[in-house]
């Protein structure tokens, strides 16, 4: 569904917000208009008002004042917001506008205490407009490498628009550790055209032609397919027809034993496979997140059920996720 149909002017105005700073500011005076509050103390009192218009203006002014003391009560507004019932249609409730104002205020203040709260808000709120707004506020606040683990679930969200914003938040971080880690996302994550929001379903097992490890989680951000809507193809598609990655907390030996059993073959060491096929690309030949690994080279000549002439099954330790990853790919 097109985001320009979903997103009203209040969301488009996000791109006009100033960069967050932590100095306390005075809101500008508007001739002929008396604000409901002008100081942090006054506004913190007014956000408890029973008048929704007064409360909303006080929340907005707190964002302009940029006082860190405002962060806890603004966080409480976000935490206490009752989720909507639908992905594409908001309930007719005044508090939806209030939470929009609180989210924007947190983004303007730029206090990192808001990031975990924004992440949890995105996870529990179904309405895509509010979810993307909260993601934009994470990007506006900025992040460091320690924030990456809490954002991985959002990178695996089925909505392309949300994945795009979170990917950009990580990719544009100034943290040097982050920049090295995000090479993985640059290899795999499709840069979806944010004008169109689409839902990416995990692939059907029969479309892969290789058994999927039981109860393994599909990783959208570490997979690549020509079938997804994208503005820019992932780097990985220059080296593979398609690539699907799954994850489990089960140990490497258990996962490798499963594939040896269902494929009826002995696993090969990484060095043996790389004589013909490279696991990594030129930019991440030895990625730090990959530990010990084994794999299988499968050929359609021997297995008619395969969807490509050659399919690689790679099983390796993922040091970031602290478990075992399974990558099934068709090299070009």
The per-residue pLDDT for range 111-167, each reduced to its tens digit, is 999 999 999 999 999 999 999 999 999 999 988 777 877 888 898 898 888 988 888
| Highest-confidence segment of 15-19, 152-156, 197-201, 283-287 | 152-156
d(CA 256, CA 266): 9
pLDDT for 27 = 57
DSSP string, 75-112: HHHHHTPPPPS-SS---S-THHHHHHHHHHHHHHHT-T
For residue 258, what pLDDT is reported? 98
Q: Which long-range contacts (CB under 8 A, 24 or more apart) does 329-332 make?
A: 329/240, 329/241, 329/242, 329/243, 329/244, 330/240, 330/241, 330/242, 330/243, 331/239, 331/240, 331/241, 331/277, 332/238, 332/239, 332/240, 332/241
Assess whether pLDDT exceeds 60 at residue 175. yes
The alpha-helical segments, DSSP class H, found in the chain are 3-6, 9-12, 40-46, 52-65, 71-79, 95-109, 114-124, 128-141, 148-155, 160-171, 176-181, 183-188, 205-208, 252-263, 270-273
Query: d(Cα 251, Cα 311) in Å, to the nearest integer?
Result: 23
Note the pLDDT tens digit of each residue in 238-262: 677 888 999 999 999 999 999 999 9
Question: Nearest Cα to 153, choosing from 32, 321, 311?
Answer: 321
Residue 38 CB neighbours (<10 A): 14
Residue 235: per-residue pLDDT: 61
- What is the model's pLDDT at position 135? 96
Could you tell me the pTM of the whole model? 0.72
Report the range of poorest mean pLDDT among 106-120, 156-170, 223-237: 223-237
- Residue 313: pLDDT above 60? yes
- Binned at pLDDT 50, 70 and 90, residue 274 comes out as confident
CA geometry: angle 48, 38, 104, nearest 5 deg: 65
Tell me the average pLDDT across 297-324.
91
Task: Report how far residue 3's alpha carbon sits from residue 246's, in angstroms, rounded to the nearest whole number.
Answer: 29
Range of 7-21, 131-145, 165-179 with top mean pLDDT? 131-145
Q: What's the CATH code, domain 3-142?
A: 1.25.10.10
Please give the average per-residue pLDDT across 3-15, as a whole number. 38
Cα angle for residues 165, 148, 156 (degrees, 5° grid): 55
pLDDT band at 220 (very low <50, low <70, confident <90, very high): confident
Domain map (residue ranges) of the chain: 3-142, 205-331
Tokens of 138: 């994470």
pLDDT, the chain, mean: 81
Residues 6+ apart with CB under 8 A from 153: 119, 123
pLDDT higher than threshold 70 for residue 16 = no
């Amino acid at each position: 569904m097109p985001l320009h149909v979903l997103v009203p002017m209040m969301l488009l105005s996000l791109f006009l917000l100033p960069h967050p700073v932590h100095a306390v500011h005075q809101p500008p005076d508007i001739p002929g208009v008396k604000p409901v509050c002008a100081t942090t103390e006054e506004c913190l009192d007014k956000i408890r008002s029973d008048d929704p218009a007064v409360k909303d203006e006080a929340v907005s002014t707190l964002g302009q004042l940029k006082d860190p003391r405002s962060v806890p009560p603004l966080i409480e507004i976000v935490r206490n917001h009752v989720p909507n019932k639908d992905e594409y249609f908001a309930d007719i409730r005044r508090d939806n506008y209030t939470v929009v104002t609180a989210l924007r205020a947190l983004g303007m203040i730029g206090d990192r205490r808001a990031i975990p709260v924004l992440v949890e808000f995105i996870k529990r709120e179904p309405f895509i407009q509010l979810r993307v707004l909260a993601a934009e506020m994470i990007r506006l606040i900025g992040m460091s490498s320690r924030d990456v683990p809490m954002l991985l679930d959002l990178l695996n969200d089925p909505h392309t628009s949300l994945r795009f914003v979170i990917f950009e938040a990580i990719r544009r971080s100034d943290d040097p550790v982050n920049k090295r880690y995000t090479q993985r996302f640059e290899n795999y994550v499709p840069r979806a055209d944010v004008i169109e929001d689409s839902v990416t379903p995990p692939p059907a097992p029969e479309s892969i032609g290789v058994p999927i490890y039981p109860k393994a989680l599909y990783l959208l951000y570490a997979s690549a397919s020509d079938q997804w809507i994208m503005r820019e193809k992932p780097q990985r598609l220059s080296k593979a027809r398609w690539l699907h990655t799954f994850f489990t907390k089960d140990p490497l030996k258990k996962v490798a034993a499963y594939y040896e059993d269902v494929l009826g073959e002995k696993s090969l060491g990484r060095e043996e496979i790389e004589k013909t096929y490279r696991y990594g690309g030129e930019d991440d030949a030895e990625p730090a997140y990959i530990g010990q690994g084994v794999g299988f080279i499968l050929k359609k000549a021997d297995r008619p059920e395969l969807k490509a002439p050659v399919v690689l099954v790679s099983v390796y330790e993922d040091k970031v996720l602290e478990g075992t990853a399974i990558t099934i790919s068709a090299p070009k």
